[in-house]
């Protein structure tokens, strides 16, 4: 499927067309025998081949919508080839950029791979996980904070003492604490100490705590709703891209069939000219038409390659994998709801609108949390710990009768413990309007989100109406296009027979063939537009999970 094998047949047809063009471009065709009984059999075989090609063109598109099969939540079977994308920060190597055989994917497989591989969807999942972690962080503020501390270190100092008056009025000279006037002394001290303990702090009264938790909860809800809306957006992008790839594949098949028909008609024109039944002008016109058909086929092949790469980029496939549309075009049914019901259903539980409401709620809760910074806070604190130290004194010297030397211990070990408990009150009395300004800014942002809600509500209605009217118009166009194709096919057969019988000119045959091609393309466009507009309506109404771990619907079908 998907027209993956069109390269070599195209080359053969182009070479054949070029050979025919070169052989008859000057009006001097290669010598052909006059039309006789043998030529009549050959022409009859060509007519049969032409009729077979016309019947193949007629069967390229389905007549009616195919009913859905299977469970909408069932995981589709993935293709055997590895579809794991490159790591997010990796770049492809030159060898991996060589494209292999196109890999046929069904629409359900395309949706499953897109939902699993999409970088934008994975970013939404990470944002939901971050919002959940933020909520858990804020919930922890209701609990006390307990911390342990430990400290140790070494301190060394040199000290000098001088007493100008001494202690003669307090102690006798025989007392060990006696210091003569002008007594001097010095020493070096080394202290090694360590302290450990526990500290507890509990916010008994904090008016900003609950608004912060509610803001985090609203942010989490907003992130989950944004994830559900991203699923809706992605399903529309995937389905539209897949339908456009089917359209490109079908155009390639139509252009290939047209080129084959042009070559058959051109050969018939050459035979009839050789027999003297048609003028040289008819042959030249058929050569120009056949060349134009080849040009349009080449353009269709280029559009097909671009559509495949667009789908590969959307699916975030490995660089060496090229997707192809593995499903035939299946017409989606008529949208089951009227316009008013569709609009009401699109507003109900719409994740795009609900995410804006959750964002506004988060901003208002943040405003309350900021404003609560102006209110008093009451905290309980407690701590307990132990400490130990060792002090060594050396190089003790005295002069002018000595000073303080008798009270110096050469080594001293000290041990201790302490605890404390209490209440602390803090109240911000003045901050020059900083807090109030932040609260007003958050309130304004909430008002801006409310206006975004109104704008988004209007956009949803416009998208619903455009998709609904487009869907109805595409269905009507499809009915008209089917009638046009049927009439064009019969007209082309009649014009071909009249041309062979000499009852009409080659110009009539060319115009009839062009009308047939245009009818086929119009029917293809109408069919694809029916499916695309159906997917656009689903984008506004298809229920999607808000939990990144929940299964995602793999079938695009509306069920009330």
pLDDT score for 287: 87
Residues of the chain by 3-state class (helix, strand, coil), percent to 5: 55, 15, 25
Q: How far apart are the C-alpha atoms of 345 and 461, rounded to whole Å?
A: 11
Summarize the confidence of residues 490-500 as an average pLDDT.
83
pTM above 0.85, yes or no: no
pLDDT higher than threshold 60 for residue 20? no
Q: How far apart are the C-alpha atoms of 508 and 514, rounded to whole Å?
A: 10
Q: When comparing pLDDT for 4 and 423, which is higher?
A: 423
Summarize the confidence of residues 422-439 as an average pLDDT.
92
Summarize the confidence of residues 87-95 as an average pLDDT.
73
Summarize the confidence of residues 507-518 as an average pLDDT.
85
pLDDT score for 178: 79
Beta strands in 444-526 (DSSP E): none
pLDDT higher than threshold 50 for residue 15? no
pLDDT score for 99: 67
Most confidently modeled range among 91-95, 258-262, 268-272: 258-262
The pLDDT confidence band at residue 416, using thresholds 50, 70 and 90, is: very high
pLDDT score for 526: 93
pLDDT higher than threshold 50 for residue 9? no
pLDDT higher than threshold 90 for residue 369? yes
Q: When comparing pLDDT for 385 and 264, which is higher?
A: 385
At what angle are helices 434-500 and 209-274 packed, to 10 degrees? 20
pLDDT higher than threshold 90 for residue 460? yes
Summarize the confidence of residues 230-243 as an average pLDDT.
94
pLDDT score for 407: 66
The pLDDT confidence band at residue 38, using thresholds 50, 70 and 90, is: very low
The rounded percent of the chain whose pLDDT value lies above 70 is 83
Q: When comparing pLDDT for 362 and 271, which is higher?
A: 362
Question: How many helices and strands in the chain, by DSSP H and E?
Answer: 10, 6
pLDDT score for 30: 35
Q: When comparing pLDDT for 114 and 40, which is higher?
A: 114
Most confidently modeled range among 96-100, 194-198, 316-320: 194-198
Q: In what order do the strands lie in the sheet with 377-399?
A: 145-163, 183-205, 377-399, 411-426
pLDDT score for 134: 95
pLDDT score for 166: 77
> Could you give phi then psi for residue 228, rounded to 5 degrees?
-65, -40
pLDDT higher than threshold 90 for residue 57? no
Least confident of 39-48, 189-198, 202-211, 274-283: 39-48
CB 318 within 8 A of CB 86: yes
pLDDT higher than threshold 70 for residue 220? yes
pLDDT score for 449: 95
pLDDT higher than threshold 70 for residue 305? yes
The pLDDT confidence band at residue 1, using thresholds 50, 70 and 90, is: very low
Give the C-alpha distances (Å, rounded to integers) separating 436 from 367, 430, 432, 495: 9, 11, 9, 84
pLDDT score for 265: 79
Give the DSSP per-residue string, 416-438.
EEEEEEEEEEE-----TTHHHHH
In sequence order, the β-bridge partners of residue 192 are 154, 390
Summarize the confidence of residues 207-227 as an average pLDDT.
95
Q: What three-state secondary structure class fits 118?
A: coil
pLDDT score for 115: 92
Beta strands in 403-523 (DSSP E): 411-426
Mean pLDDT of the chain, nearest integer: 83
pLDDT higher than threshold 60 for residue 506? yes
Most confidently modeled range among 21-25, 34-38, 286-290, 400-404: 286-290
pLDDT score for 22: 36
Token match 């890999």: residue?
103
pLDDT score for 102: 83
Pairing of strands 323-325, 103-105: parallel
Least confident of 100-114, 348-362, 452-466: 100-114
Which residue ranges form the domains of the chain, and what is each CATH number? 7-25+85-134+214-362+437-541 (1.20.1600.10), 152-205+377-426 (no CATH)
Q: What three-state secondary structure class fits 336?
A: coil
């Amino acid at each position: 499927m998907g027209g993956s094998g069109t390269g070599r047949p195209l080359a053969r047809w182009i070479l054949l067309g070029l050979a025919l063009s070169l052989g008859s471009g000057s009006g001097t065709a290669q010598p052909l025998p006059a039309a006789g009984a043998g030529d009549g059999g050959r022409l009859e075989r060509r007519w049969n081949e032409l009729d077979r090609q016309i019947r193949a063109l007629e069967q390229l598109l389905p007549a009616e919508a195919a009913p859905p099969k299977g469970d909408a939540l069932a995981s589709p079977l993935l293709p055997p080839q590895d579809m794991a994308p490159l790591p997010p920060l990796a770049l492809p190597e030159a060898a991996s950029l060589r494209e292999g055989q196109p890999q046929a994917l069904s629409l359900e497989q395309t949706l499953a791979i897109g939902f699993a591989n999409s970088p934008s969807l994975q970013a939404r999942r990470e944002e939901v996980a971050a919002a959940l972690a933020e909520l858990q962080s804020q919930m922890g503020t209701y609990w006390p904070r307990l911390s342990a501390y430990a400290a140790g270190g070494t301190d060394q100092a040199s000290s000098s003492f001088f007493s100008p008056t001494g202690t003669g009025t307090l102690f006798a000279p025989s007392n060990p604490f006696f210091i003569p006037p002008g007594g001097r002394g010095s020493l070096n001290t080394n202290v090694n100490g360590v302290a450990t303990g526990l500290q507890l702090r509990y916010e008994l009264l904090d008016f900003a705590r609950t608004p912060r938790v509610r803001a985090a909860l609203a942010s989490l809800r907003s992130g989950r709703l944004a994830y559900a809306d991203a699923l809706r957006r992605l399903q529309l992008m995937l389905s539209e891209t897949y339908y456009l790839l089917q359209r490109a594949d079908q155009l390639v098949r139509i252009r290939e069939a047209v080129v084959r028909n042009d070559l058959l008609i051109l050969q018939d024109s050459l035979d009839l000219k050789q027999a003297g039944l048609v003028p040289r002008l008819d042959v030249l016109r058929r050569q120009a038409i056949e060349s134009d058909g080849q040009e349009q086929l080449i353009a269709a092949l280029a559009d097909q390659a671009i559509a495949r790469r667009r789908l590969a980029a959307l699916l975030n496939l490995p660089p060496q994998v090229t997707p192809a549309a593995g499903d035939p075009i299946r017409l989606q049914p008529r949208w089951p709801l009227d316009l008013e019901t569709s609009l009401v259903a699109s507003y109900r539980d719409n994740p795009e609108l609900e995410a804006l409401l959750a964002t506004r709620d988060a901003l208002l809760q943040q405003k309350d949390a900021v404003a609560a910074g102006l209110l008093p806070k009451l905290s309980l604190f407690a701590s307990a710990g132990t400490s130990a130290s060792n002090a060594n004194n050396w190089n003790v010297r005295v002069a002018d009768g000595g000073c303080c030397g008798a009270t110096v211990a050469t080594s001293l070990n000290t041990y201790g413990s302490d605890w404390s408990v209490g209440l602390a009150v803090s109240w911000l009395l003045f901050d020059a309007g900083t807090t109030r300004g932040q609260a007003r800014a958050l309130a304004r942002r909430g008002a801006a989100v409310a206006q975004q809600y109104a704008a988004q509500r209007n956009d949803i209605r416009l998208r619903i109406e455009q998709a609904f009217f487009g869907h109805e118009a595409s269905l009507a166009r499809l009915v008209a296009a089917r009638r046009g194709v049927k009439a064009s096919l019969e007209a082309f057969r009649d014009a071909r027979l009249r041309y062979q019988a000499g009852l009409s000119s080659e110009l009539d045959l060319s115009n009839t063939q062009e009308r047939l091609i245009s009818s086929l393309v119009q029917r293809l466009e109408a069919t694809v537009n029916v499916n695309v507009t159906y997917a656009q309506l689903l984008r506004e109404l298809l229920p999607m999970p808000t939990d990144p771990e929940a299964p995602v619907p793999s079938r695009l079908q509306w069920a009330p």
